[in-house]
Every structure is written in structure tokens, then in C-alpha cells.
Structure 1
């Protein structure tokens, strides 16, 4: 099993077991030790992993770090562990103290779900106050897996990690700034764009007007990018399915209304089909696209998992003045959200995923 598969397998394990993990020690055994093992280190070999390694801090003797990863008899990564429910923001000072008295170049603070990696980019031998890499193992991206892989025993290289750590740190900070500006544009940010399309003076009322316009323009542009990528993904998938007669038959059935043609009261609109294609493109990140189907009814249009009426992913209510998408709660009840356009369907991606997980876990 390669590293990527091992990490994804661990992620699945975390999702399934976390509600049964009641203590910090259980968190270590169920989540963190398997993570160390996935990095290629033998957790039972004291030449590679030392549990409860002593880190004396000044006059305070006997302080212990949960795990120390060793290389050439020297610690290279200190790991401080917490229970999976604990907020890591309350515990980074503890790792900082251990890091500052150790020869290790990297520190890791984790609760078995969130993994925060630290080093000393600002000042030598003083741990930075912010991690250069933070990952949620239940929501991993491919680029994050590649960064984690650098800590694998077979690939570990201090200079290589430090080089990428600097880029990751500044990239993370820039992304946070961009996100803040997108969510709540500052006057300077608004003026930067407004002065390129507006010739008048930038009075406060003008800035206020353009603040909302900039927010909407950003949102619209992001949605356009997402739409183009999803269309591309669907095109690739449809090309693949066309190569198999069996799969092509399934796809043809999915993209045709499952209601009886003779029932003239049920009319499947193009807008409903567009909504279905968007939901299908989103949910293909969770399940095979062939498992996503639709059924139309007089009052709503359903997107289903496995073409099963008892497994609705969401429902569209497009036959009224105000249009709604209904996500499904844990009791399989509709939770309606008003939408202005089909672009708003993307806002509820997490809800679709949670509903799919609910059905999958029950099975």
C-alpha cells in the first residue's frame, strides 16, 4: 500500500471511530500511532520512535513529549497529542516549550484529526507561533498529501522540508488575506478595482456602492470558474462512460426522466435537469457518478443516491415564486433554502456530502 492509500485509509478510520474515542490515550492508539506508522516509522522501535521522551525545561524537570521521531539517535520531529475533541489553539504553548529545548527541527501538534506542523522560520531554535502546514485528515487534498509525504521515513530531508515550509507559510498567510478581502473587502481593495472602471472621485458613498459590487463580482467569477471545471469534469466522465455499453445504458437511464410519460401533470424542466447535473458533478467527489439519479414529482424534483426514494440527496422546489433547494437532515427531513440562481446550489456541498455519508454509514 502506498502512502496516499495508507493516509486515506486512516482518514476513513478516523471518521468511523472518532465518536467512540473517549480519552487522549485512546486517540493516540487509534489515530496518531497509525499516522506515525503510515509515515514509515515503527512505533514499537525505540530507535525510531520514543514515547514519553523527557524534555527538561529549565528548572522544570521530567517534562515529557508524547512522541519523538528519531534519526541517527537525534529527535527530528516532536509530537504533542491531544484528545480529538480538544481545541489545539489552547495547547501550542506546550509544544513551543518542548521545541525550544530540543534539537528537533520540526514540531507537530495534533488531536488525531487536525495536524499542525511547526518549525523555526522566524528565529533559529524558537518555534514559530503559526504552523507552516495544517491539514485535516478527514478533508485531505492531494497537495497536502504530498507535503505530508515529505515527512515519510523514506523521503525525509530537512532542507527540502524547510524550503517548502517557507513557501507554505507565506502561501497560507496570503490565502488568509485574500479570503478576508473576498469576504469583507477593505476600502483599499475596493478602490484598487473601482478606480479602473469609475472616473469620478472616490467619495465614501461611491466606495460603499463599489464594495457590494466587488463582492458580487468576485462571487460571480468564482462560480464561473467552478462551473467551467465541473463542465469539464462531466465531459471527461461522459467520454469514459460512452466506451462501455453497460455504463452507457445506465447513464442514458439517469439522464432521462423516470416518471411516466403519460402523467401530464409532471413536467421535468431544463432548469431542473441543469440542477441535477450540478448536483451530480458535485457529488461525484463522494461516490461513483453512476449512483446518482433523479426522479420528478408534481411538487418537487429529487436527486437520489442509488435511484432509491429513501435516499434523497436533495430536493428542488422550482414550481413556486421563490425557488428552494432542500437539503436532508439526520431525520431525513427537508431543510429548505431559498436560492436566486443555480449557482447557489454550490453553497450546500457539505450538506450533500453529509447526507451521502449518513446513508453509507447506515449500510
Structure 2
């Protein structure tokens, strides 16, 4: 989650600054170097991040790649950077030459917004023509962050990345092919289904009809699956709300609010007052937990205090409203979760 937030922060910075970035060099400093820092590498340590790394090509001396990241004295990733407006498709041949003369297994071609990671799956020490990982940092997804994390200094392992690279690369290729077929079904793709669904002779007229049918069928399947997922999520939310409403139906005289719970509420209130009016932070006690809500709304839980058992917990909430319990020794430990509490109310206020 921390890496995702750091990458999202860089993406926000890029959107804000890109129209003021006029050169390749400023792209490197404003976009690429912060990305390297996020991966845990010290851009001010010349034994770790080497700018203008020499990659001599036979008789052609003095060829340099923009950056090389080193680990234990060995280059593990070479990086070639272009201006953020540049189309990367015309630049991978340059990186291809650099890759061949270095000892690294990985290379990165980027314009600070689009990132393409390459390795040598098809032929040893020869960079593949297509990347195994590609993403737009301004449209970053959590599933992609898990792959980027493998390049973090604290987790970097050549074997782990290479073993996974093949799966990533060919999954990406297949997804691309499927998308093409859905957009514009090929003759062979249509014929595959027509042969199974139609017992007659596949004339040109029949194939034309099935081209339309296949395209329409796939569109309907996708639409139905999306609706099923949405309905499933909605039903779960309704069930959750019904459970919470049921809890609230317990007579007040059966619920005992303790001094410790009220003290915990005051601490949460003190943390949030720098960001919210105190009238927006409301507590509701139940038999299971002491809940603290935003705007007195069950759908906006800030945290839950579990203080009446043998072990004390604070329940924190992520952006999907999943409760994450953290053990505490006393209510004073609530101060340790200041950033999480502020972040949670930020989710509800659209920050």
C-alpha cells in the first residue's frame, strides 16, 4: 500500500508539472529520478545509481545509457530515458544495443510516464523485442504495483523476476490478442464458433452473419459478467448494512459505555479536529465494539475500538471499508495511528 501511495503521489506530480517540462533532461530529474528513489535506490550514491553509464559497443566507444542501477558492484537494471512527449516505439533499438554489452538481465525504457521493462526470455543476453511489463504511471493499478515492487531494493531477486517475466509477457500478449478479436473478430476466430454452432455449410453470407453474432455475443457476456459483479458487490454491501443496522437495534440499556471507550473517542476526536469540525465525528456503542463514525453514518466508519476483551484492539478501515485490527496496550496507543485515521476520513471526503 505504501508503494502504491508513493507512485500515486508521483503520478499526481507528473500531471501537475508535465506541461512545464520542456527538455529530456528535466524529464529525467522531475519524473525518472523520483521513480528510482521510490524503488529504494539512492540517486545520490554513485555506487548504487550511475548516471551516464558507459556501454561501449565494439569499436564504437563512449556510448552511454542514462542510468544504471548497481547491486553488489554489478549492474542489475539499465535505464534509458526520453522526453515525456516522445513515442517510445522508436527508441527501443538503442536500448537493445546497450543491453547486449552489459551484464544486466533487465532494462527499462521510459519517458517518465510510460515504463517498459525488458529482459532476455527468448535468447540469452539479447533483449526481447517486447517488454514483459508495461504501465502508464498516471493510470497505475494495484496489480501492477505488485510487479513493480519486485524491483524494489529490499525485494530485488533476479530469479524471481525472470521466472515471473514469461508469465507476465505472454499474458499481456494474449490479452492484447483477445482485445483485438473482440474489437474486430478475425475470420479464423469467427469460424471457430461458427463450426460449433452451425451445422450447415459456412458460406460467405453465413460467415458475415456469424461475424456480427460473435461480436454481439462477446459484448453481451462481458456486460452480463460486469453486472453480476456489481450486483454481487451491492448485495454484500446491503447484507453488511443490515448486520450493522441489526446491531443498532439492541436496546441501549443492554450496552454499557465505559470511561476507557469515551477516552479513546476523545483521542480520535483530537486527532481529527485538525482536519474536521468536531460535530462530524460521532460515536456509537454496540455490544461488539465501540464505533466512531463520520457524519453519524454507518457507511463511513472511521475506526472501531475493541476494549472490553482480554486483548485490546483498534479496528482501522481501508478505502474498501475492510476492517484491519491492530493490537494496542492502552488507548494512548491510538495516537500511533494518526496517519491511518486521517487517511480514512480522506477517503470519504474524496481526497
Mapped contact 1:114–1:135 kept (Cα < 8 A): yes
Cα displacement string for residues 131-189 of structure 1 (whole angstroms, at most 9, x for unaligned residues): 11101111112211101000000110001000110111111111111111111112221
CA contact (8 A) 1:241 1:247 kept: no
2:296 to 220, 238, 246: 246
Q: Is 1:11 aligned to residue 22 of structure 2?
A: no
SS in 2 for 1:75: strand
Distance 2:123 2:320 in 1: 48
Look up the match of 1:155: 155
Rounded Cα–Cα distance in structure 2 between residues aligned with 1:97 and 1:40:
27
Task: Give the equivalent residue in structure 2 for 1:264.
Answer: none
Task: State the SS of the aligned residue for 2:134.
Answer: strand
Equivalent residue of 2:69, what SS?
Answer: strand
TM-score (structure 2 length as normaliser): 0.68
Deviations 1:271-313 (A, max 9, x none): xxxxxxxxxxxxxxxx999xxxxxxxxxxxxxxxxxxxxxxxx
- Aligned: 1:164 with 2:164: yes
Relative to 1, partners in 2 of residues 1:2 and 1:59: Cα closer, same or farther, differing over 3 Å? same
Residue 128 (structure 1) aligns with: 128
In structure 2, the gaps of 5 or more residues are 245-292, 301-318, 322-349
CA pair 248-153 structure 1, distance change in 2 beyond 3 A: closer
**CA-to-aligned-CA distance 1:197-255 (integer Å, 9 cap, x gap):** 221111111011000010011011111111122233344455666756733699xxxxx
The count of aligned residue pairs is 255
Do the aligned residues in 2 keep the contact of 1:115 with 1:136 (CA within 8 Å)? yes
In structure 2, do the counterparts of structure 1 residues 112 and 202 end up closer, same or farther at CA, with 3 Å as the change threshold?
same
Q: Of the two, which has the highest radius of gyration?
A: 2
Counterpart position of 2:118: 118
Structure 1 residue runs of 5 or longer lacking an equivalent are 251-286, 290-359
- Is 1:69 matched up with 2:119? no
Corresponding residue SS for 2:51 = strand
1:1-363 aligned within 5 A = 2-237=2-237, 243=244, 246-247=296-297
**Higher RCO (CA 8 Å, separation ≥ 6 residues):** 2
Conserved 8 A contact 1:118-1:130: yes
Pairwise CA RMSD: 2.3
Q: Distance in 2 between matches of 1:175 and 1:190?
A: 18
Q: CA deviation at 1:20?
A: 1.6
Secondary structure of 1:68 counterpart: strand
State the SS of the aligned residue for 1:9. helix
